[in-house]
Structure 1
Amino acid sequence: MAKLMIDTYKDNSFSPTALIRSNAFVATINPTSFSIAYKTFQNTDQATGTSNTNAKYEKSLAPSLQIEFLFDDTGVTESNPGNTLINKLKKLKKVSSTTEENAVTKQITDFYGATGKFIGTIHKPGNVILRWGSSLASGASSNSAYEFKGILTDLTMEYKLFDSEGKPLRVVAKATFSESISPELMKTINNTNSPDLTHKRTVQDGDTLPIMTERIYGDSKYYLEVAKVNNLISFRQLKPGTELYFPPIEKTS
C-alpha cells in the first residue's frame, strides 16, 4: 500500500527550485481518514423592520485539512498492517520496546522537521505538499490520488503509551494544514483551461481530437486547425502517449 508522503518547499510557489527535500516525511502508518473544511463569509446584515435577509457573498477562506498520524513502536504494526491496526491497538494492554532506537521519537522528529520546524535559511517553517495515492510509488506526484498544498497551522501530540524507561511507544498527532499557494500559482491553476493559452496534452486511451479540442476550447470545431499545428496526417487515430499542442484560440479561428 502506498504511503502518505510530505515534500517540503521554501515557499508556496511549489516550484522545482523551491523544493527543500522530496519525501521529507513518509508515514509509517497511513491515516485511516482525514477531513477537509471549507468556509465562506456572507454579509447577513438585515434592515430594521424586515423578517428576512438577502445574504451577500464576501469571501471564502482557504480550505483546511485535518488529519491524524499514528506513531507507534509497539511492534503490532508489523503483524497487523492496514485498517485492522487500530482495533489491535485498542486491545493491546502491555507492550515493550524491543529496538534500541525509539522509533516514535524519530517519526515525530521527521514529521515536525518536514512540516513545522523553523528553517533558519528561509526564516520560517517550510511549505508542504501532502501526497497520498497508488501512483506515489512511481514518484508521479501530479497523478496522486490526493494532493494538498499548504502550511501547518496547528499540531497537537497525544502521548498514549510508554515503556518502563518512560520512552513513548505510541503518539497520536492531530495536525491541521491550511491551503496556501502563491498568486502566480493560483493564476496558473485558474487559467488551466483558458482558451487563450497554449496547452500541451498527452493523449489517453479513447481520446479523439474533437473530444480533446472540446475540452480545451469548449467547441470541437477547431480540431482541423489543431491537427494542422501538430502535423497530424490522420486525426482519427491518435496514439496514446502522444503529446499534442493546442494553441490560443485566436490563432486558430
Structure 2
Amino acid sequence: MRGAIQKLTIGTYENSDYDKRIQSGAFKAFINPTGYSVTYKTELEPGQAPGTAKTDLKYVASPSTDLQLEFLFDGTGVTEANSGIKLINKIKGKAFKKTSVKDQVDAFYKATGQVSGPIHKPYNVILNWGDFEFKGVLAEFTVEYKLFDNEGQPLRAIGKAKFSESISPKLEAAEKKNESPDVTHKRTVQAGDTLPLMTERIYGDSKYYLEVAKINNLVNFRQLKPGQELFFPPLEKVS
C-alpha cells in the first residue's frame, strides 16, 4: 500500500549463508526505532621506522560492521489506541487487548538471541526496514525498564540492541559477483541521479554513459525520470 508505514521486521535463518529460512517475520516492531547507527571499523597495526617520531599505521583487516538500534516496548496501551487498533477492535466487537512489555521483549529475544535447540545457537537474522537491509547476529541486548504499574510490572522499556554483520565466504563471493561490472545490472533512477553518475557507480568510470544511453534507447539522457528503469550490461559489451 503506497504511503503505508513500513515496519522494521526481522527474519530468522539457520546459518550465515541465509539460504535456510526459519521464519520471514519472526519479529515485527510495533513502534519503529527513531533511528539507527552503523559502525564501520578498520583494524590497524602501529609501525615506526627507526629514528622517526611519527607512527606509520598499517592496514590489517576490516572487522564486521555493527548496527545499533533502540526499540520502544510499550505495555500501557497508549500506542495501540493511537494506532487505530482499539477502534478497529471495537467495530469488530473484539475486546481490546494490550501486549505486555515482557511478552514484547521475549518475542524480540526469541527471534534474535535465544539459543535454538535444533541448531544449538541463536539464529542468523536479516533486518529489513524500507530499503535498508542488514545481515548478522545479535551481539548485545540491554533492556532498560522505565515505567511500572502499582504491582511492579513494567509498562514501558527501551531495548538497546547491537547486531554484528555475519556473512559466509560463500555468500560474500556471490554478492561480490552480483556487484561486478562484468554482469548485467538493472537500476531504478532515483531523484538526483544522472546517467554519468549511475555509470560511475556500476563501472567505476563515467565514460561509458553514452553507450549505456544507446543500449537503453534514451533520446535525452539528461532528462532521467525517478522510477525509470535502466539496464547496464557487462563491461565488455559497452567498451
Task: Map 1:27-42; keep pairs closer than 5 Å.
Answer: 27-42=29-44
Structure 2 residue 137 is the aligned partner of structure 1 residue 132? no
Q: Which runs of 5+ in 1 are unaligned?
A: 82-97, 134-143
Q: Would you say 1:20 and 2:17 are equivalent positions?
A: no
Residue type of the partner of 1:173?
G
* C-alpha distance in 1 between matches for 2:218 and 2:122: 50
* Structure 2 residue 58 is matched with structure 1 residue 56: yes
Matches for 1:212-227 after TM superposition, within 5 Å: 216-217=202-203, 218=205, 219-220=207-208, 223=211, 227=215
Q: What is the CA-CA distance between 1:22 and the residue it aligns to?
A: 1.1
The whole-number CA distance in structure 1 between the counterparts of 2:70 and 2:202 is 39
Alignment root-mean-square deviation, CA: 3.5
Q: Counterpart in 2 of 1:46?
A: 48
Matches within 5 A, 1:144-163: 144=131, 146-163=132-149
Asked if 2 retains the 8 angstrom alpha-carbon contact of 1:155 and 1:174, the reply is yes
Q: Is the 8 A contact 1:213 1:222 kept in 2?
A: no
Alignment partner of 1:199 is 2:179 = no
Counterpart of 2:32 in 1: which secondary structure? coil
Deviation per residue, 1:177-212 (Å, 9 max, x gap): 10111112222333334233x324256589999987
Correspondence for 2:112: 115
Using the size of structure 1 for normalisation, the TM-score is: 0.69
| 1:186 equivalenced with 2:187 (yes/no) | no
TM-score w.r.t. the length of structure 2 is 0.73
The whole-number CA distance in structure 1 between the counterparts of 2:43 and 2:135 is 22
Alignment correspondent of 1:7: 11
Structure 2: gaps of 5 or more residues: 84-94, 222-226
Q: Are the structure 2 counterparts of residues 188 and 172 from structure 1 closer, same or farther at C-alpha, using a change threshold of 3 Å?
A: same
Q: Structure 2 vs 1, CA of residues 170 and 237 (structure 1 numbering), >3 Å: closer, same or farther?
A: same
Counterpart of 1:36, as a letter, is V
**Percent identical:** 47
